[in-house]
Every structure is written in structure tokens, then in C-alpha cells.
Amino acid sequence: MNDPKAIACALEQLIERFQADYLAQIGEHHCVEVDDDWPSACVPADAKDGELSSWKVCLRDDVDQFAELEQAMSVDLHPSGKAYWNALYAAGITIESEVGPVELLMPWNQQDYVRFLQNLTGHLLTQKRFKLEPSVFIGVALNSELVISVADDGSVVAELPGRPPSHTLAPTLVEFLQSAKPLIQ
């Protein structure tokens, strides 16, 4: 399933499960340190620089910039990977997976989204150099060098940079997000 709305919904539901589990296990809301130099609509407007603040998901309505990247790199990225990054702003969260704990990466603000695109460019150049199919990374394994990505066929895979995928974690991104179990650390 490549539907951007289904992906955004599954991602938002996973974050809600993470936040509910965090509150239940830790006894307080998951917080981030406020940085006035790295603002985000995810934190309350009255949050003070340097203090911890709860955060919420904010739907992303900025321009999709994947078309420029795809044209420049001469690649067609899977729509699910693009939908993941275009869906919302949020703090990263941790989940359990068959390759160990994983941090799912998400853009915190528009600057972070642009930084992701720059990092994705490097990822794609490495894949091109090693004649690998393009993928869109969405997370990193915390106990290894594995990158969690949406593969060219839409499946969610674990891969080492510069190598073919070593594990298929789910046949689709929606299934991966719906079955993900939040990991509270």
C-alpha cells in the first residue's frame, strides 16, 4: 500500500502508541530539549530554550522536494518512502524489531527535512556506486550499523551502507508501522 494518507495515519498511530506507552511506563510525557536555534511547531510556543518540553505530531504541509532530488540523481524512489518523510514533523522514536532496537527518524522542522534530503543524496550516491537499487532510509538500528529503509519494491528492509538488504522486515511500510512495538528506554 503506497497511499500517503494510510502511511501518515499508520505513522501517527505508532507515535501515539509510543507516547502512551512512555507515559504509562515512565509516568510522564516524552520530552525533548527546546532549542531556539532549531525551532519546531511540535513544541508549545511558550516553551523556553534549554528546558524540556512535551511535543506533539504536526502534519507537514510544506512542499515535497523529492522530485528535484529524483531528477538530479536520475532515480525513481518508492512512493512509500517519500510519503513517510512528507507526512509530518515529530521527534524520533524507538521501536523493537527483529534486528534489535531501531530509532525511526523523522523531520523535526523544515531545516531537518532539507538535511535529510542531503543525507539521502549521499545514501543514493553510495548505492549508485555499488550498483544497488535505490532505497529511502527511515531509521537506524541502535546496536549495529544497519539502516532501515523502504526498498525499491516498497518493502521495509535492513541494510548495511553499500550492501544489498540483509533482512526484509515487512512487505509494506504500512504493515511495518502498524506492527511496530514502541520501545521505551
CATH number, domain at 97?
A: 3.40.1580.20
pLDDT at position 75: 96
The CA-to-CA distance between both ends of the chain, in Å, stands at 31
Q: Whole domain around residue 97: which residue ranges?
A: 4-182
Contact 176, 150 (CB under 8 A): no
pLDDT at position 185: 87
pLDDT at position 1: 62
Q: How many CB atoms lie within 10 A of CB 176?
A: 26
- List the grid coordinates of 60: 507537514
Q: What CA–CA distances, in Å, run from 23 to 19, 41, 91?
A: 6, 21, 16
pLDDT at position 63: 76
**CA neighbor of 4 nearest in space, from 110, 85, 124:** 85
- Residues of the chain whose pLDDT is less than 70? 1
pLDDT at position 180: 98
Each residue's pLDDT tens digit, 65-108 = 899 999 999 999 999 999 999 999 999 999 999 999 999 999 99
Label the pairing between strands 156-159 and 52-54: unpaired
pLDDT at position 33: 97
Q: What CA–CA distances, in Å, run from 77 to 19, 58, 80?
A: 30, 24, 8
Contact 64, 82 (CB under 8 A): yes
For the question of whether the overall pTM of this predicted structure is more than 0.85, the answer is yes
pLDDT at position 171: 98
Question: For the chain, what is the domain count?
Answer: 1
pLDDT at position 62: 76
Q: What CA–CA distances, in Å, run from 29 to 23, 91, 142?
A: 5, 13, 22
Q: In the beta sheet, which residues pair with residue 31?
A: 54
